[in-house]
Every structure is written in C-alpha cells, then in structure tokens.
Chains A and B, each alone.
Chain A
Amino acid sequence: MKKLSIVTISALVIASLLIGFVGCGGTDPLAAQERLRVATTTSLYDTGLWGYLEPMFEEEYGVEVDILSAGTGIALEYGMRGDVDVITVHSKSREEAFVADGYGVERVPFAYNYFLIVGPPDDPAGIKDMSPEDAFDALFQLASARFISRGDDSGTHGKEKAIWAAAGYDYEEVRTAGQWYVEAAGGMGQTLLKASEMEGYTLTDMGTFLSYQGDLALVPIVQEGDILLNVYSVIAVSSQSDPNTNIEMANSMVAFLTSPQIQELIGEYGVEEYGMQLFTPCAGNEPSS
C-alpha cells in the first residue's frame, strides 16, 4: 500500500476546503441583488424604528437593506473593517474619532432623546429625582443596591462611564467595587430584563425602556440632567478606507434619514403606542440640552 505523508493529507484537506470556498462564492444567487448594510445600535432596532423605516427606503431606492443590530462599539468596528456601508450610533466622541481617522464621511445627527436611570418602584437606594451624578455617587457610597451595567462598550455604556467620571469616580474603581455592580454584557433590552429580575438600577435610553416597559418591574427614577442627552447620528462609511462599500447608496441613506418627510415620521414614531415621543428629530443639527 502506498504510504501517504501527513503533508499530503493536509494538502488534500486545504485543497478541498478551498474548492468549497470558491464554489460557494461563485454560485451565490443573491449576490446580484444590490444590498446596503447598516450596522445600528440596538436601541434603534429594539424599538422597532428600523423595522418601520427599512421597507420605505427599500421601496424608494430599490435596494435590499440588511440591518445588523449591535452595540455602538461593534457597529463602529464593522465600519472600520469596511463590513458595512452605513452606521447609526450614539457616542459623540467615538463618532468624531471615527470620522477624523478617515473611516466615516461625516457625522450627521438625525434624532435625539434622553437617557434615564430606572429602578425598582420602591427605590431602595433613595435616589429619586437626584441629579444623575449625585445618584451614581449615592449608589457607590451605599454599595448595596444593585446597578446593572451594559458592560459591552456600547453607546449607553459610554454614557454611563461619562456619568461616573462626572461624579468623580475612576471607572475601573467602580467596575471592581463589589457585587452590587453587575456587568450584563448584553443589549439594552436584555439589560433591562436583567435589572428587573435582579431588582436593580440601570441606565437606559427612553425608547428601549418604553418598548419593554410592559415586561419590566422598573420605573423611571432619575430623568433630569444635561448629561442625559442622547444623540443618534448616521455616518456613511468612507469609500476611501474600503472601496467595497456602497458609498452612493450610503449617502442616499443619510439623505433619507434627514429628509423632512422621514424626520416627521421619526418624530411621530411610537407616539400612538406609548403615549409619548420616542425620538425627537434634529435633521443634521447638533441638539443642545
């Protein structure tokens, strides 16, 4: 019997896998259809806003829109790698860095709302109506009432870090402060459900809170404070960093989201269902708190 070396076997494995790759890449029947990839922060997806706007864009521009729901951190990462054409995120400083580094064309704010701190109805830490900074300070000092953090490098997590900093704490110190500080490492909806289960506090955007409210034993605790402003921006991923991206359609998406007609729909979205506005449109301008 002929002796085969392990090298020959491995070469066979690699060759057959490569045949598999090429075969698949070449016969994709869907590749011909034009697609636009949008990576979005979870809050714009979980509230149903993207599900509402997506068919309108698809109809108007005759393109398939693929929505990837991820945290702002992952969405920015996808953008840097050139794996998506457009991102809709909410973390101003990181968005500015993204554009400055040449990954994005321009940061265009298109809507805003406010973050709020929610917690159990009996407010065990007694932080109701404090300023966000004082509320965080009280939670840290008390060290017994649970705080559930997104802990996933998302825009909301970034805002939480900013509030800790404003309250005079080093984030690493907070993160390791004790069992009262819980890292959920999940989307906003998941974190809210966890906070509800654990009878803890968490920082949330208004839109996601309202759409999950029915499943939660949580109420708004802190809602006032300039630091709670939450601005959503849309950024077309630069074709200079990656020529594979669909820059024309991406620009159309930016124009679409900031168009008067769609801005009006964003402003009205969810009003009927929740009895209040989820997103305030701000067509291309930075809102001031």
Chain B
Amino acid sequence: MTELWDGLVTALRLIVSFDPEVMAIAGRSLAISATSSTIAALICLPLATVIHFNKFRGKRTLINVIQTMFSLPTVAVGLFAFVLFSSAGPLGGLGILFTPVAIVVGQALLISPIMLGLTISALSGVDKTIADTAVSLGASRFQMAFVTIREARFAVLAALIMGFGRAISEVGLSMMVGGNIAGYTRTITTAIALETSKGDLELALALGIILIVIALIINIVLNRIQQR
C-alpha cells in the first residue's frame, strides 16, 4: 500500500510543481495522440458516411473485417509500421522511423478501424425516416448525410473519444516505431514502461495517474460540449 500512496504523493508533487520533464512527456503524449486522432477522424468520418449510405456487394463482410480489426494488438501494428518505415522497408525513404511522425501514423492506423466501425454503427442507429424526410423535403445527398450525422453526433463523438483513448493509452506501437528516445519520442506510456523496468515504481505510478487525469479532463470537456 505504501507504494501506491507514495506514487500518488509523487504524482501530485510532480503535477503541482509543473515538473518540466513530466510536463514535456505529458504534452508530447497529448500532442501525438491528438494529431493521430484528428487524422484518423478526418479519414474515417467521410469514409464511414460513404460506406453507410451506399449499398454494395461485400458491405457486411467489410464491416465484419473492420470490427475484427478493433482488437488488433498494438505490438502487431507496431511491428507492421516498423517494417514499413525501417530504412530497409518500402517507406524507409521517408526517414520517419524513430520520430514522433512514425508514432502519429502508426496510431492513426491502429485507431482507424475503431473510429470507422463505431461511426458506421452510430449512423445505423439513426432512425431512417429522418434521412427519408430530408430527401422528401428536397435535401441533396450531401445534406441528407449531414442531417444523419448531426442526429448521431453523440455516438459519433463517443467513437472519436474511443479512438483517442486507444491512441494515448497504447505502449507497444510507440515503443517500436518511436524508440522511447528521451526528449523526442518518449511518451507517458513508454516512460512508464522504462521507469518500471528501472525499478522507479513511484515515478511510473505518478505518470500513470497523470495519464488518467488527462483522460478525465478530456471526458469532462467533451461531456460539457455534448450537453450544450
């Protein structure tokens, strides 16, 4: 119990004193995961709309595949991204391995299925008469899609939060393609892994608590937005 208590005390001390290293790591984690979530959202929202509003052969299968990819292991995606971005790999020329950019791209890949799948589910949950009514009132296809997304906005937002949550909490991918370089690609989760292996459990616990606080703040803010 003393370890947990010490961890909590250390966490509070590090947060209250704005410890520069901890703040830098937390800020980096937040920036990387926010960027990857934004990229994934920009790709997944339109794509989910296209998939939802069109009938085509293999649609059911495609959705099944997307849902299966919800449980992609982060280390497997990390390994895939590592092989892709390594100098000896097909995209080695970009030179982004062991940079924050590699983590952003890897995380976007990792969370896209969740955002895509949950957004499709969200759109499916909207009463179809709303779209029909919009069309009967002379709405274009684009306007019809817009109305449906607006109707499903809470569930869509939840899909985006889920994606962000998976991005900021994963460790395997960041470790493999980021390399846990101090001051450059060290994120909260890779720092926790390193400090744990170094036996500095208090600092590791403190970072874990900071991660939870970040998640809490984001959820409170988004809930406020939803309630408006």
**Partner-B contacts on A (CB < 8 A):** 1-6, 8-9, 12-13, 16-17, 20-21, 24-25, 28, 30-31, 37, 46, 51, 64, 66-69, 80-83, 186-187, 189-190, 193, 212, 215, 242, 244-245
Contact = CB atoms under 8 A, between A and B. Distances in A.
Contact of B182 (A51, A189, A215): A51
B24 interface: no
A1 B55 contact: yes
A156 B95 CA distance: 31
Contacts, number: 106
B54 A12 contact: no
Contacts of B196: 190
Nearest to B105: A24
A83 B181 CA distance: 14
A66 B56 contact: no
Nearest to B88: A81
A2 B184 CA distance: 48
Given A16-B43, A28-B101, A6 B57 contact: yes
A9 B50 contact: yes
B56 to A, nearest CB: 5
Given A9-B50, A66-B179, A69-B180, A25 B56 contact: no
Closest 8 pairs between A and B when the two form their complex, measured CB to CB: A82-B87, A6-B58, A190-B197, A25-B94, A81-B88, A215-B199, A68-B179, A66-B181
A186 B109 CA distance: 27
Contacts of B56: 3-6, 8-9
Contact of B86 (A3, A28, A83): A83
A242 B95 CA distance: 12
Given A6-B61, A189-B199, 6 more contacts: A2-B54, A5-B58, A12-B47, A25-B94, A80-B88, A242-B88
Contacts of A21: 91, 94, 105
Interface of B: 39, 43, 47, 50-51, 53-59, 61-62, 86-89, 91-101, 104-105, 108-109, 179-182, 184-185, 194, 196-199
A189 B201 CA distance: 13
A23 to B, nearest CB: 8
Contacts of A37: 98
A194 to B, nearest CB: 10
Given A21-B105, A189-B198, A193-B199, A83 B91 contact: no
11 contacts: A1-B53, A2-B54, A6-B62, A12-B50, A20-B108, A37-B98, A66-B184, A67-B181, A81-B89, A82-B92, A83-B97
A215 B95 CA distance: 40
Contact of B47 (A13, A28, A30, A212): A13
B96 A28 contact: yes
Contacts of B96: 24-25, 28
B87 A83 contact: yes
A1 B54 CA distance: 7
A30 B50 CA distance: 36
A81 B180 CA distance: 18
Contacts of A69: 180, 194
Contacts of A190: 196-197
Given A25-B94, A193-B199, A9 B51 contact: yes
A25 B101 contact: yes
A31 B95 contact: yes
B46 to A, nearest CB: 8
